[in-house]
Amino acid sequence: MNIILDAHGGDNAPLEPIKGALLAAKEYGVTVTLCGDPAKIRECAANNDISLDGVEIAPAAQVMPMDAQPGEIRNTYAESSMAVGLRLLAAGQGDAFVTGGNTGALALGGSVFVKRLPGIKRAALAVVIPNAKSCHLMLDCGANSECRPEMLQQFGVMGSAYMENIQGVASPRVGVVNIGSEETKGLELQVEAGKLLRQTPVNFIGNVEAREVPLGGCDVAVCDGFTGNVILKLTEGMGKWIGIEFRKILLANVLTKLAALIIKGGLKRFKDSLDYTEYGGAPLLGLRAPVIKAHGSSNAHAFKNAVRQAKRMVETQMITKVGGVLAGLKGADTEAEDE
């Protein structure tokens, strides 16, 4: 199995992707191909006393900037490590692609180069988020600001397949994020999406209010990309704020510091459960091959786990399973839409 890793994607590239590639190759027994400028990759490795034995390099002449417009992956940055890596994947020269780079460019590039599964309206960015019970998958988290009901139906199918095959959740509970649990609540998008999902072969539990999502109200939280991105960033911000305030309380005086020592183990376990590096990244679901978006600030550990995630998607043949379910949906198109 060959996993293509964008050597120049992310804030800490190319050092952390290089280190992550070596860790993944050693721990998971896969071939990892670093896609990027060979000279810069070798120079970085040499400056940090890293041996590149165990990984391969696929040349790419450009770097896709984090602030570039998504459409530039087609022309201005057509030879970037991201674009080249995606084309290699599409050509069958790799089994999956991982990057910590520009999200918008990845979403467009994935659809243009790798292509969507037949019938898929839009690929969705899916993020695994810890909750009170374990974790849930939320999609879309930013690839599609505006959606139609059939898109949310497809997100539910893809999210259910991911949670069952990658996270090991039996019969994942799929819910539509809404302002109320009643079937008639929400805008036309949520109401019509609910109707479609009730006719879909997934464990659909209806509408789920946003406050119930972090409490484990569902395993797959389905929403449009605008809503999902707002929830995701609000969750990140609230987590940081609570951590800051909690630290102030524990360090307030001698007694609270003593209490902090007593509960140190529990605090570490809680902190670890919120660590994004353990989840690796967010899959871009709906494409014809596995594509993983790692966090922009990913370290080597996060990149290693993103490769693990990609490997698992290949092993479980998740793409094929999703395609089979989607093909059976009432009124499913035979071809994916053009961009």
Range of the domain at 145: 127-277
Whether 201 and 153 map to the same domain: the answer is yes
Whether 313 and 263 map to the same domain: the answer is no
Query: Which is it for strands 31-36 and 291-294: parallel, antiparallel or unpaired?
Result: unpaired
- Supply the pLDDT for residue 338: 47
Range scoring the smallest mean pLDDT among 65-74, 200-209, 313-322: 313-322
Whether 27 and 92 map to the same domain: the answer is yes
- Supply the pLDDT for residue 133: 87
**Taking 80 as the threshold, does the pLDDT of residue 122 lie above it?**
yes
Whether 209 and 290 map to the same domain: the answer is no
Domain boundary among 254, 277, 300: 277
d(CA 99, CA 278): 16
- Supply the pLDDT for residue 81: 96
**Taking 80 as the threshold, does the pLDDT of residue 98 lie above it?**
yes
Whether 11 and 40 map to the same domain: the answer is yes
Whether 257 and 295 map to the same domain: the answer is no
- Supply the pLDDT for residue 191: 96
Whether 162 and 302 map to the same domain: the answer is no
- Supply the pLDDT for residue 235: 84
Whether 105 and 230 map to the same domain: the answer is no
**Taking 60 as the threshold, does the pLDDT of residue 250 lie above it?**
yes
Whether 192 and 146 map to the same domain: the answer is yes
- Supply the pLDDT for residue 336: 45
Task: Using alpha carbons, select from 292, 146, 317, 285 the residue that is nearest to residue 220.
Answer: 285
pLDDT, average across residues 41-61: 94
- Mean of all residue pLDDT scores within the chain: 89
**Taking 80 as the threshold, does the pLDDT of residue 299 lie above it?**
yes
| CA 51 remoteness from chain centre | 29
Whether 46 and 97 map to the same domain: the answer is yes
Instruction: State the CATH number of the domain containing residue 213.
Output: 3.40.718.10
CB 308 within 8 Å of CB 20: no
Whether 99 and 134 map to the same domain: the answer is no
**Taking 90 as the threshold, does the pLDDT of residue 167 lie above it?**
no
Give the number of other Cβ atoms within 10 Å of residue 279's Cβ: 20
CB 89 within 8 Å of CB 289: yes
Domain boundary among 260, 277, 294: 277
- Supply the pLDDT for residue 322: 81
- Supply the pLDDT for residue 276: 56
C-alpha torsion sign, points 273, 278, 281, 285 = negative
Whether 252 and 139 map to the same domain: the answer is yes
Helices (H), 98-186: 103-109, 149-165
Residue 98's φ and ψ, nearest 5 degrees, are -130, 135
Domain boundary among 235, 260, 277: 277
**Taking 80 as the threshold, does the pLDDT of residue 331 lie above it?**
no
Kindly state the percentage of the chain with pLDDT values over 70: 93
- Six-digit token string for 313: 């998607």
- Supply the pLDDT for residue 272: 62
Structural domain count of the chain: 2
